[in-house]
Structure 1
Amino acid sequence: MQNSPLVSIICLCYNHEKFVVEALNSVVNQSYQNIELIIANDCSSDASKKVIKNWLENHTEIRFISNKSNLGNTKTFNKALQFAKGEYVIDLAADDILLGDCVEKQVNAFLNPKQKNTAIVYGNAEIISEDNLHLRYYYKVDNEKKAVTKPASGDIYLAMLNQSSMICSVSSMIKRDVLEQLYGYDENLAYEDLDLWIRTSRNYNFEFIDAVLVQKRELANSLGNQFYRKFNSQTKKINYSSYLVIKKAIALNKTKNENKALLKRLHFEMAKAYKTFDIWLFLKYIPLEIKLRFF
């Protein structure tokens, strides 16, 4: 590429000693070369820190942040973001892998946008097991590995509210200035992606790249496996975060149609609270439903 803007890749590691080297190698082996890698270890209890330090012996120019206590993903990412100088940012979990032309395709999408005011570009992901075995694709593909049903592009705010489309967060790249305008991730939340999509899509466009860009590893303790556990403290934190995201979205909404769209997501979250016997959370949704219906 003639124009090669700097891309900052923030690799977050927490107990990923088995996978972190593969993740880091996938960054340095990109076809696109103008990359700044920032590694952040969130006080892992396994040998992640030692594995990363050994890898850094051959990559001495790379910044390494090591938390003295466990801060969680949102706080650790924001801490690392302060050092990022790239025009674009990727949040890479240390158990995931960027395919060789991932960054090149993402940057090209930004340099040749299909619409103005694009803040996030994203693509497809291959879901793999702990042992690198293929499980499925995030978006179902045809024989040419093209998405059978294209996810949302352009103004996707309503789609984010009513769950009519999903964003593959692990395959996304965001403009750093937009991320900074939004003050990074909300550190009050147990997870960051839904909140970021809603806040970003309120004022900016998204663009889908119809290609498999990353490999996302599915582990037993992955976030997606935590939503429906009964009487589980982590499940309660995650589902309460969803409540906070919906509460914030109500403040962003401007029309009755947007409130109607958000009601669909609210009912989905109420059902999760009911199925996990989180009655306190279920009851907290009732005033929000009244507000969306009548105000």
Structure 2
Amino acid sequence: MSVVIPCYNYGRFLRQCVNSVLYDQPGIEVEVIIVDDKSTDDSLTTAREIELKHANVKVIANDVNLGHIKTYNRGLDAATSPYVLLISADDLVTPGALTRAAELLEAEPSVGMVYGRSIDFHKDLPPCRTEQSSWIVWRGADWLRHRCQSGYNVIASPEVVMRTAVLRATGGYRSDLPHAGDFEMWLRTSAVSDVGFLVGVDQAFHRGHDRNMNRTMFKSGSEKGRLIDLKQRWQSFEVVFDGVGRGLAEGALLHKIARETMARQALEHINYAYARGFRDFPMEDFETFAKEVDPMVEQTRLGRRVARRKRLGMVSLPLHPLWALPAAHWRLKELLRRWRRAKIGV
């Protein structure tokens, strides 16, 4: 299995990441490809030291900083094994993760990618589940339909192992989707192959820290970040259904579902902001996006509700008493979405 590790100024995390894929992966021959994107810390020095110690580790050093997308693709282009994992240098895989993924891919030739649950952590590694009980194989179009209906990504990224032949057939990461490149990749893969989910097992550790790209580049957690996320997810759907998804028998219907979902999500953010009295929320930007995606969104039930709330305005209460129930409903939907992701992968 090829493991591609892009690295930019993550030298302090690199050894732990590499060790997670080299050890405790029984039955797997691993090819590790570290791609240093002209780091300004000790990343390249650390990578070279690891390369000298392990014959199956190769280091590629960018002459100039290419950015994460081109760095990803450079590493993936160098992969030579039938299966490939792309994992950031600040993340890790769990013991046996590569073994479990390879077993599913060997048993299910129709599957183009396999994933399990990813655990978020900050400092010490939390306990993880490594005893696999079963797996689910989703028909690609069915998995894609779930994504169109929810609009959300259910994969953090380090928990995905892809079939290299499928990756080669569909292409690498897109430079015009710097925030949602992973999401678009999963959508694209599901349009041409089935998707495997490892049930009841943790496949990766996703590290949270102050220098995460989502925080520094894409303003994760802020209103601006939420709008960037909405726009990039919608662009991902557009790209897929204008490309490989066009050949699906139900492609036009799925595209329509995705359009309605993404417009609705933008209005739900506005709705929730009114319910919580968030006066500084950029309502106009979210509403403009919703109308651009689906010009008919104003005629929907949610569209009419948002228009009504705009007329009534906000009150200076933490939660408007008339809108407490819709806000609670919105929160319940979020909890249900997370539960489905953990249990069945969608």
Q: Does the 8 A contact of 1:242 with 1:269 survive in 2? A: no
Q: Which residue pairs with 1:57 in the alignment?
A: 52
TM-score for the superposition, normalised by structure 1: 0.79
Q: Do the aligned partners of residues 170 and 230 (structure 1) sit closer, same or farther apart at CA in structure 2, a change above 3 Å counting?
A: same
Deviation at 1:60, TM superposition (A): 4.6
Pairwise mapping of residues 157-168 of structure 1 onto structure 2 (< 5 A)?
Answer: 157-163=144-150, 166-168=154-156
Structure 1: state its 5+ residue gaps: 1-6
Pairwise mapping of residues 217-228 of structure 1 onto structure 2 (< 5 A)?
Answer: 217-223=207-213, 225=215, 226-228=219-221
Pairwise mapping of residues 6-45 of structure 1 onto structure 2 (< 5 A)?
Answer: 7-29=1-23, 30-45=25-40
User: Which string of whole-angstrom CA distances, capped at 9 and with x for unpartnered residues, describes residues 223-275 of structure 1?
Assistant: 5553343567xx77655433421332453362335412442134325666998
Q: Give the residue type in structure 2 aligned to 1:217.
A: R
Pairwise mapping of residues 1-295 of structure 1 onto structure 2 (< 5 A)?
Answer: 7-29=1-23, 30-113=25-108, 117-129=110-122, 131-134=123-126, 153-154=138-139, 155-163=142-150, 166-191=154-179, 192-210=181-199, 211-223=201-213, 225=215, 226-230=219-223, 240-251=231-242, 252=245, 254-256=251-253, 258-269=255-266, 277=282, 283=288, 285-290=290-295
SS in 2 for 1:93: coil
Q: Does the 8 A contact of 1:95 with 1:217 survive in 2? A: yes
**In 1, Cα distance between the equivalents of 2:283 and 2:58?**
42
**In 1, Cα distance between the equivalents of 2:189 and 2:208?**
26
**In 2, Cα distance between the equivalents of 1:84 and 1:196?**
17
Give the paired residue count. 275
**In 1, Cα distance between the equivalents of 2:22 and 2:156?**
22
Q: Does the 8 A contact of 2:230 with 2:262 survive in 1? A: no
**In 1, Cα distance between the equivalents of 2:240 and 2:296?**
12
Q: Do the aligned partners of residues 117 and 41 (structure 1) sit closer, same or farther apart at CA in structure 2, a change above 3 Å counting?
A: same
SS in 2 for 1:290: coil
Q: Does the 8 A contact of 2:237 with 2:255 survive in 1? A: no
SS in 1 for 2:48: helix
Q: Give the residue type in structure 2 aligned to 1:283.
A: T
Q: Give the residue type in structure 2 aligned to 1:96.
A: D
Q: Give the residue type in structure 1 aligned to 2:172.
A: G
Deviation at 1:37, TM superposition (A): 1.0
**In 2, Cα distance between the equivalents of 1:198 and 1:78?**
18
Q: Give the residue type in structure 1 aligned to 2:51.
A: L
Q: Give the residue type in structure 1 aligned to 2:105.
A: F
Q: Do the aligned partners of residues 146 and 267 (structure 1) sit closer, same or farther apart at CA in structure 2, a change above 3 Å counting?
A: farther
Q: Do the aligned partners of residues 223 and 161 (structure 1) sit closer, same or farther apart at CA in structure 2, a change above 3 Å counting?
A: farther
Q: Does the 8 A contact of 1:247 with 1:288 survive in 2? A: no
Q: Does the 8 A contact of 2:36 with 2:62 survive in 1? A: yes
What fraction of aligned residue pairs are identical, expressed as a percent? Answer: 19
**In 2, Cα distance between the equivalents of 1:43 and 1:278?**
40
Higher relative contact order (CA 8 A, sep 6+): 1
Q: Does the 8 A contact of 1:158 with 1:258 survive in 2? A: no
Q: Do the aligned partners of residues 156 and 223 (structure 1) sit closer, same or farther apart at CA in structure 2, a change above 3 Å counting?
A: farther
Task: Give the alignment's Cα RMSD to 1 decimal.
Answer: 3.4
Q: Do the aligned partners of residues 31 and 146 (structure 1) sit closer, same or farther apart at CA in structure 2, a change above 3 Å counting?
A: closer
Larger gyration radius, structure 1 or structure 2:
2
SS in 1 for 2:75: helix
Deviation at 1:54, TM superposition (A): 2.2
**In 2, Cα distance between the equivalents of 1:276 and 1:86?**
48
SS in 1 for 2:87: strand
